[in-house]
Structure 1
Amino acid sequence: MTLRRRIAVLAVATALLAAVAAGWITVAAARAPRTPPGAGAPLVLGTDGSRLLLVGGRRLVTADLARPDAGRTVGALECVRSHAAAGTGVCAHPDSPWSYRILVLDSALGRRKEIPVPGLPSRARVSASGRMVAWTTFVGGDSYSGGGFSTRTGVYDTRTGRLLDSLEEFAVTRDGRPYRAPDVNYWGATFAADDNTFYATLATGGRRHLVVGDLAARTVRTLKDNVECPSLSPDGTRIAFKEAVDADPGKGWRLSVLDLATLRVTPTAETRSVDDQALWLDGRTLAYTLRDSSGDPDVWSVPADGSGAAALLAADAESPAVLR
């Protein structure tokens, strides 16, 4: 495949992803929030691992991890994406259907930092220590993007206050060689335990790569192709990700797990297309969002080792995170 052809394929794939994201976010923003009984009740980001953080009806929600559909506590904060760890939360908060802020939250949902972001939020993550916060948005207007959309990933360090608006200026090593191109895009960051090493998807020239990055050195290097929206396991040895079927996003994605030591890929038992950055509920089980025919979300779970079967975890919810 020629370079021109690869760039065209990437533009089409990015436009497709952006259209899907824009569609569900716009529809969600246009709907009146579904506000269950108890909305506005006090909500805190605990750390004992017994509660699950969710977005339900565009509100932050916590629920008993053992029974996510029972006894939910619904907060007043409106979010389209969220995540939390070690008492730090992140919320992609809509000011309007096309205007968003990233809110960095403390354990009582106090606003530690507000960051206006361009475009439509699609991913959000907090490192296990609670120090690092990352997000991805779909944006328009980049000259190289024939489809009119690209992605932008930012990182905020809650300890130092350092804000990286984009990873696109990081030095890239692709297939062992220095690489530069105007169409480099990143999405779906996930952090290692040292709060400096991260993994993300890098797309360029019609290919999508898993990269490992060094925040301090401002570098990334490619590890494997066709790995999107990585999520690092609690022990740091595996990455859950969505793998494009036949390397073609137009055919959907298979939720899979990559062993970082061997680069062996294990597809999970979930055979439906999963367009999400999966969450590790623990070292054995993944959680992720699927949408029904009307666009409403539910959270499902599946074993990470390829065994078992997918099971409904939390109805009418999305963006799960275990509060630990």
Structure 2
Amino acid sequence: MNSTGRRARILVTVIAGVLLAALATATVLIARRNADPAPGGGADPVAAASPGAGRPGGPGLRVLSNGLLSTVSLADPAGPRTVTEQHCDRAYTAGGTTACLTPAGALSAPRLLVLDEGLRVKRSVSLAGLPNRTRVSPDGRMAGWTLFVGGDSYAGGGFSTRTGILDTRTGEVIGSLEEFAVFRDGKRYRAADINVWGVTFAADSNRFYATVSSGGVRSLAEGDVAARTLRTLADNVECPSLSPDGTRIAFKQAVGADPGKGWRLTVYDLATGRRTESAETRSVDDQAAWLDDRTLAYGLQRGDGTNDVWTVPADGGGEPRVLVQGANSPAVLPAAR
């Protein structure tokens, strides 16, 4: 065979190899995509789990274990853990509804999955950005989420967020709370740099609280879904979490009003405006949860990147302690029926 023929044969072999490799890669990616829960479908990605799994006869704690939706007994959080196959970057459960912000896939954007008590998918909403926060109203009707859409840290000055709300009863999706009218000191406030993040809902599912940021000032705001308004209440408040009795807000307060110095886990009294710093002196970059009206739970990351759920009293006393190792995104579940 002459040199031209040999070159032709080598070229054909190389092209065939490239095509086979591309086909194999595409097959793997399609398989991964098909393994994801179908948008809006009734597929059950966690068939091995049940609403009461891991907490016989008593309340439980829903957490993420290495990104997998899991459940432990609140009476024995270090005990057996029911781990499902549902991947979430962030999750929260209330009123029989679980909100799960899924990671972005190779061929798909992150999504909000709304799961029922049996952890079956009821709704799916496509999102864009890096999943960061999610919350559900106490009655399970409203689900809120926050994603980073520019930058990846609250400490940076160049980040941008997108925060929305889904009404699971009507199906209405509010894509961005930045569309709401913002009021500061009783007057309408307009600015191009308004950002909203960290929703937490009141018991009526219409009122909520969130952080509104503009001009370098980060403020606690009270929101009204029906009126489409946000009214600022206090400055230097980030990632609020409303107490079960509706009287206080747990939040992360920037040290010296400078997020670059870290955050102090603090509680704000809505009636008096009084702030009570918790006994947790490490920087807490999380939206804390309430275990009850007296106790906060939050995630802290170890040096190796592993997350643990910690707890501390809300009144400023006591001391922090580990509640669940290797977990984050805590949410209290009622006793199994």
* TM superposition score category, shorter chain reference: 0.7 to 0.9
Q: 1:105 aligns with which of 107, 115, 120?
A: 115
Mapped partners of 1:147, 1:220: distance in 2: 22
Mapped partners of 2:185, 2:129: distance in 1: 31
> In the TM superposition, what is the alpha-carbon distance from 1:207 to its structure 2 partner?
0.3
Is there any run of 5+ residues in structure 1 with no aligned partner, and where?
Answer: 1-38
* Contact 1:105 1:113 (C-alpha < 8 Å) held by counterparts: yes
In the alignment, which residue of structure 1 is the partner of 2:270? 260
Q: 1:279 aligns with which of 276, 285, 289?
A: 289
Asked if 1:203 corresponds to 2:213, the answer is: yes
* Contact 2:58 2:73 (C-alpha < 8 Å) held by counterparts: no
Structure 1 residues 40-92: Cα deviation after superposition (integer angstroms, max 9, x where no partner): 66223459861100000111000001111211001010111000112100111
Q: 1:308 aligns with which of 314, 318, 329?
A: 318
Select between 40-49 and 177-186 the one with higher mean Cα deviation. Answer: 40-49
In the alignment, which residue of structure 1 is the partner of 2:50? 44
TM-score, reference length from structure 1: 0.84
In the alignment, which residue of structure 1 is the partner of 2:76? 67
Q: 1:1-324 residue pairs with structure 2 within 5 A?
A: 42-46=48-52, 50-96=59-105, 99-140=109-150, 149-324=159-334
Query: One-letter code of the match for 2:113?
Result: L
* Contact 2:213 2:219 (C-alpha < 8 Å) held by counterparts: yes
* Contact 2:67 2:87 (C-alpha < 8 Å) held by counterparts: yes
Mapped partners of 1:81, 1:122: distance in 2: 7
> In the TM superposition, what is the alpha-carbon distance from 1:182 to its structure 2 partner?
1.1
Partner SS for 1:68 = coil
Mapped partners of 1:318, 1:243: distance in 2: 20
Is there any run of 5+ residues in structure 2 with no aligned partner, and where?
Answer: 1-44
* Contact 1:254 1:270 (C-alpha < 8 Å) held by counterparts: yes
Greater RCO (Cα-Cα under 8 Å, separation 6 or more):
1
Bigger Rg, which one: 2
* Contact 1:41 1:73 (C-alpha < 8 Å) held by counterparts: no
The change in CA–CA distance for 1:41 and 1:68 in structure 2 (over 3 A counts) is farther
In the alignment, which residue of structure 2 is the partner of 1:21? none
In the alignment, which residue of structure 1 is the partner of 2:3? none
Mapped partners of 1:261, 1:202: distance in 2: 20
* Contact 2:103 2:131 (C-alpha < 8 Å) held by counterparts: no
Partner SS for 2:292 = coil
Query: One-letter code of the match for 1:123?
Result: R
Mapped partners of 2:327, 2:234: distance in 1: 32
* Contact 1:210 1:224 (C-alpha < 8 Å) held by counterparts: yes
In the alignment, which residue of structure 2 is the partner of 1:4? none
Partner SS for 1:96 = coil
Partner SS for 1:246 = helix
Mapped partners of 2:197, 2:46: distance in 1: 32
Query: One-letter code of the match for 1:118?
Result: A
Partner SS for 2:284 = coil
The change in CA–CA distance for 1:147 and 1:285 in structure 2 (over 3 A counts) is closer
Aligned length in residues: 282
* Contact 1:45 1:89 (C-alpha < 8 Å) held by counterparts: no
Structure 1 residues 199-232: Cα deviation after superposition (integer angstroms, max 9, x where no partner): 0000001100000011000001100000000000
Partner SS for 1:250 = helix
> In the TM superposition, what is the alpha-carbon distance from 1:323 to its structure 2 partner?
1.1
RMSD, matched Cα: 1.9
Structure 1 residues 27-47: Cα deviation after superposition (integer angstroms, max 9, x where no partner): xxxxxxxxxxxx966223459
* Contact 1:41 1:74 (C-alpha < 8 Å) held by counterparts: no
